[in-house]
Amino acid sequence: MKAILIGATGLVGNLILKEILDDNHFSEVRVFVRKPTGISNPKMVEIVNPMTDIDGLSQNSRGDVLFNAMGTTLRKAGSKTEQQRIDRDLPVAFARIASGNGARLMLNVSSAGASMKGNFYLRTKAEMEKGTEEYFHENVFHFRPSLLDGKRKEFRLAEKIAAFIMKAIDPLLTGSSKRFRSMPVEKLARAMVNLSKNPAGREHILHYSEIMGCL
């Protein structure tokens, strides 16, 4: 199987890439990045591009499954417009060209609480989900983790504090609240790769329990 990956330099995307490279089920992964990853592997085709002309990348956007791990913060993006471009517009554009080139499956990193009625961030994620569904229909899966526990390249104090607090709160989150439990980022990445190999019968919106069920 051949994969396409966007967002490979982020927390989740980097681990998805490692999972794919270590998995014999995949013969190739095409990685779209704005900066080189520094990773060299015979299975990996790295396309370094500023991501301003997605249609110009159509020839390279060929594979069986598209992994979307795009994501940023308002602070890092610099504006709401740029955050929407990264979190929503780019994944939808890749969904359009990849599906047009024959990709049959898409997996998105979204967020717990994604909703058209949510705040700016959660609404943007919901719009991304809806936009990708227009091209992959029932063959798109939205992973909605809550707080992710992992080592980012940049230090985020608020996340570190939240991760510390969540370790105490997680066991108390049961029933419908279980979806808000924190999760090691390695498990999310592995669950996404596992589902891509065997999507039959899986829920199309995956929260904590459904994600853990893919391991």
pLDDT in tens, 73-115: 899 999 999 999 999 999 999 999 999 999 999 999 999 999 9
Structural domains of the chain, count = 1
What's the N-to-C CA distance of the chain in angstroms?
20
Q: What is the CATH number of the domain that holds 160?
A: 3.40.50.720
Domain that holds residue 169: 2-212
Phi, psi (5° rounding) for residue 2? -110, 135
CA–CA distances in Å: residue 51 to residues 35, 58, 213 = 11, 12, 34
Q: Model confidence over 163-186: pLDDT tens digits?
A: 666 676 777 788 888 887 889 999
Phi, psi (5° rounding) for residue 104? -110, 0
**What tokens does 62 get?**
């060929």
